[in-house]
Chain A
Amino acid sequence: MDGVLPALSFAPMNTLELARLQFGVTTVFHFIFVPMSIGLAAWVAYCQTRYHRSGDEVYLRMTRFWGKFMLLSIAIGVVTGIVQEFQFGMNWSQYSRYVGDIFGAPLAMEGLAAFFLESTFVGLWIFGWNRLSPRVHLATIWLTAFGTVLSAYFILAANSWMQHPVGYTINHVTHRAELKSIFAVLGNSTVLLAFPHTVFGALVTGGMLVLGISAFGLLRGRNTDVFSRSARTVLPLTLVAAIATGAFGHAQGTLMEKQQPMKMAAAEALYTTTKGASLSVFAVGPFERHPKRLNTDIRIPHLLSIIGTASWNGQVKGINQINAEEKAKYGPGDYVPIVGVTYWTFRLMAGAGVLLVLLALLGLLLMRRARLEQARWFQRAAIAGAALPVVANLTGWIFTEMGRQPWVVYGLLKTSQANSPLVGSGSLIITLLGYTLLYGVLLIVGGRLFLREIKHGPESEPVRDDSEEPCGKPGGAPREDLVLAY
């Protein structure tokens, strides 16, 4: 690996852009389903716990109905997850060599501690309905949910290290970053905020999916017991999760101001350092990488300073000043991400978040007035609202990753130095097309199955998993437990 880094500047731009596009396509697709899995696993575990405690059939039907959506999203998340783990080596071999000593550890821990847990226990949950005692079976869904959350922690710890490298030294002989403290990496201030932000966001995603599908069921007036109970139960939980997501997001913004000031300035499209900075709500500029002027800009006076510095006239640093500082620190170059992307992804994410809180508040208000099941306008809004968290999740990730550019590891390694030097554009195009095709089919088939489950709704006959017939005869096969799966 000696002397590899200086040679990297020869990497042609087109393969770099293809590799980046591929990372974007595969990651965005993967991340449609991951938050759903996390949120739904927790929700299904919650429903089953209520059933276990109360014996109320409605909770059992909820468990099984929502469980189907959880299984679909886990299935697609799992199969696309392999690509996520392998493409660092495939497309980003220089990155892997440079950071592997640090970055590989959380990934390996994710496999050992989280993926095994999740995949093994979800199998036990699906097929174990009548093989395991109710308590053990309940434990399997909680362990599955715990596995999904744990995997989020490890992967976010790895990603946070890219945003804010800690606990490392640079070995000047091997030209790579080396781990000095695993506790610093796992306890990175960045991950301590990114983790709750992401997990609460995932809970909102699952919650809104439940609310939207329930609203659809209520609109059609079928299985109203399950849908009404689901909506009423999920609404307060979703509201709390949505507020928590926003609160941790705000804390992340404040931290980012210190750790990645450029990303925050680019999120606000604030070019010059300003005291008492106003907040831009809606701005459109010419379609350029760094537009010199804006065509429309609606601003709220002083709000940015208030949010960013908690004071009326607080100073907020602008892109131009930060760019000059980074040039002085890291050498000549352009250290500004694509401002149009950061500005709009940030607004879409935050805007979706605000709408979600309002929607959940409204629903809660209707619920308290016992109007939730009658308010058809709200039900329609809730169906549309199920898409909002997905918008927020995806724009949030695009903002985080594209806002860090030109760095792949902030301050240490540029994206242009990170891709695999000998993987040609032909190979990249083949795999890009292959993944796009494959994921397109997954999306169509998965989406169709999703819609069909929604259309059919939950089982309306009481489903009992405790009858009097004895079990355990040799070869005694599962019966009902089979119908959840294949």
Chain B
Amino acid sequence: MHDPNFLQTLWFALIGVLWIGYFVLEGFDFGVGMLIRALGRDETDKRMIIHTIGPVWDGNEVWLLTAGGATFAAFPGWYASLFSGFYLALFLILAALIVRGVSFEFWGKEDSPRWRATWEWTAVVGSLLAALLWGVGWADIVHGVPMNAAHNVTASLWDLLHPYALLGGLTTLSLFLAHGAIFLSLRTRGEIVARARAVALGASVASVVLMGAFLLWTALDQNSGGVKVSQQVVAAGAAGLAAAVPLLLRRARDGWAFGLSAGAIALLFASLFVGLFPNALPASSAHANDLTLVAASSTHYTQTVMTVVAVIFVPIVLLYQGWTYWVFRHRLGRDDFEGTPTPIAVLSSLGREGASAAAHERPLPPPAEPPATA
């Protein structure tokens, strides 16, 4: 087979960018999801924590959908082999994503401690499982999986859970946990900031160790076909950024720490993508069965069409998603929630009947703040 042409390389890079965007963005909302119970001491805390990602988590998840769609369009062979090959692992990830998504939505909608505890736990477990399994999955991809000549993966779920892959999973788990904790320290006010920073410090130290080990193992992994200098440079960059995160946290430079943590996640996945090229999915059984980008590719015409679409829409998406983060840049504090009724309290005070109406003492709030530009 020949080397990938320009458009194939471009689309491989673009899909890499979409995955990186996904992990940098959803990485912190995975972390926030995991920390709801650990950092939230009471209902107000937990509500505040969920609210820090409330406006954005859904948009973050679209990066995954788009990465999937772009893979389908640009490398259908990759999409087919990968998604059918990682069947049960992907199912677990999807189930985790569904569960944690609805957890945020359902949590505040029933006034009972058991109800809330249920959806807190599902959010914690869903976020944790997804953060772990994404790392496992990507470690498997770069390591390669047993595959036949028709590029159908022959591995079972257990074949995907070898030590190297699990180390990859722990790496993403710790990175996302630290990333989410730093995000919380940036988006909140009050005593929770110190607690979030303490978690971030612990998790970021763990992530340096785990990521260092994982990248070292990746470099030594014979199966990925020898040492690539470019990959090692990027990997070293990732490790360097990750190592700087705890130092910045100790000086309470949360903003810088968040930026570097995002950079570490981005470079980690960039190094994996560089290592993967020009393969889409290596075969661990026999290199003759490697699925190359060229073999997995769609036609030049389709990739041209998609390039035009991407050139138009990617900047627009970046613009309005960036704007969303700007709109919701303010820190949230407990005082924001103490006077504000929960959705269920609003329902109770408005419904003229129903058992919960009498039990609830919270009145309707005074008229809210006016629009910012009114």
A residues whose Cβ falls under 8 Å from a Cβ of B: 1, 3-4, 7, 71-72, 75-76, 78-83, 85-86, 88-91, 93-94, 96-97, 99-105, 107-113, 115-117, 119-124, 126-134, 136-137, 178-180, 182, 222, 420-423, 427, 430-431, 434, 438, 442, 445, 449, 452-453, 455-461, 464-472, 474-486
Contacts and interface: CB of A to CB of B under 8 A. Distances in A.
A88 B371 CA distance: 44
Contact of A482 (B51, B84, B301, B364): B51
A349 B185 CA distance: 53
Contacts of B88: 427, 430-431
Nearest to B348: A456
B294 to A, nearest CB: 12
Given A90-B84, A93-B152, A133 B371 contact: yes
A108 B364 CA distance: 44
Interface in B353-374: 354, 364-374
Interface in B304-361: 305-306, 309-310, 313-314, 317, 320-321, 324, 327-328, 330-333, 335-337, 339-343, 346-347, 350-352, 354
A455 B151 CA distance: 54
Nearest to A121: B320
A1 B343 contact: no
A331 B237 CA distance: 59
A1 B330 contact: no
Contact of B108 (A93, A421, A485): A485
A107 B365 contact: no
Interface in B77-102: 77, 79-85, 87-88, 90-91, 94-95, 97-99, 101-102
A79 B101 contact: yes
Contacts of A434: 91, 95
A96 B55 contact: no
Nearest to B368: A480
Nearest to B373: A133
A7 B102 contact: no
A105 B54 CA distance: 30
Given A89-B72, A89-B79, A180-B301, A486 B54 contact: yes
B371 A465 contact: yes
A108 B73 contact: yes
B79 to A, nearest CB: 5
B309 A485 contact: no
Interface string B36-49: 00000000000100
Interface in B38-79: 47, 50-51, 54-56, 58-59, 61-62, 64-66, 68-74, 76-77, 79
Given A101-B302, A438-B98, A93 B80 contact: yes
B72 A100 contact: yes
A478 B371 contact: no
Contacts of A1: 77, 150-151, 295
Kindly name the residue among B189, B320, B350, B372 whose own CB sees the greatest number of chain A CB atoms within 10 A: B372
A361 B7 CA distance: 56
Contact of A108 (B70, B153, B299): B70
A229 to B, nearest CB: 18
A5 B79 CA distance: 17
B12 interface: no
B106 interface: yes
A113 B34 CA distance: 31
Contacts of A468: 370
Contacts of A180: 301
A100 B80 contact: yes
A482 B337 contact: yes
A127 B82 CA distance: 37
A112 B317 contact: yes
B176 interface: no
Given A119-B59, A129-B371, A474-B330, 6 more contacts: A90-B91, A105-B309, A449-B106, A459-B350, A480-B368, A482-B51
A468 B369 CA distance: 8
B105 interface: yes
Contacts of B74: 104, 108
Contacts of A124: 55, 324, 327
A464 B81 CA distance: 54
Contacts of B98: 79-80, 82-83, 438, 442
A474 B329 CA distance: 10
Interface residues of B, number: 100
A136 B323 CA distance: 12
Contacts of A483: 340-343, 346
Contacts of B350: 456-461
Contact of B80 (A76, A94, A107, A456): A94
Contact of B340 (A4, A86, A430, A482): A482
A116 B371 CA distance: 25
A1 B298 CA distance: 12
Contact of B309 (A89, A96, A112, A430): A112
B84 A91 contact: yes
Kindly name the residue among A222, A468, A474, A478 whose own CB sees the greatest number of chain B CB atoms within 10 A: A478
B340 to A, nearest CB: 5
Contacts of A480: 340, 365, 367-369
A132 B309 contact: no
B106 A81 contact: no
Contacts of B56: 123
Contacts of B328: 127, 131
B87 A105 contact: no
Contact of A130 (B73, B298, B370): B370
A477 to B, nearest CB: 3
22 contacts: A1-B295, A82-B61, A90-B83, A93-B84, A94-B80, A101-B298, A104-B74, A112-B70, A112-B310, A113-B309, A116-B62, A116-B317, A126-B54, A132-B327, A179-B305, A422-B152, A431-B87, A445-B102, A476-B369, A482-B51, A483-B346, A486-B343
Contacts of B309: 105, 108-109, 112-113
Contacts of B50: 486
B352 A96 contact: no
B370 A471 contact: yes
Contact of A472 (B77, B342, B372): B372
Kindly name the residue among A420, A453, A467, A477 whose own CB sees the greatest number of chain B CB atoms within 10 A: A477
B369 A479 contact: yes
Contacts of B314: 112
B107 interface: yes
B253 interface: no
A475 B333 contact: yes
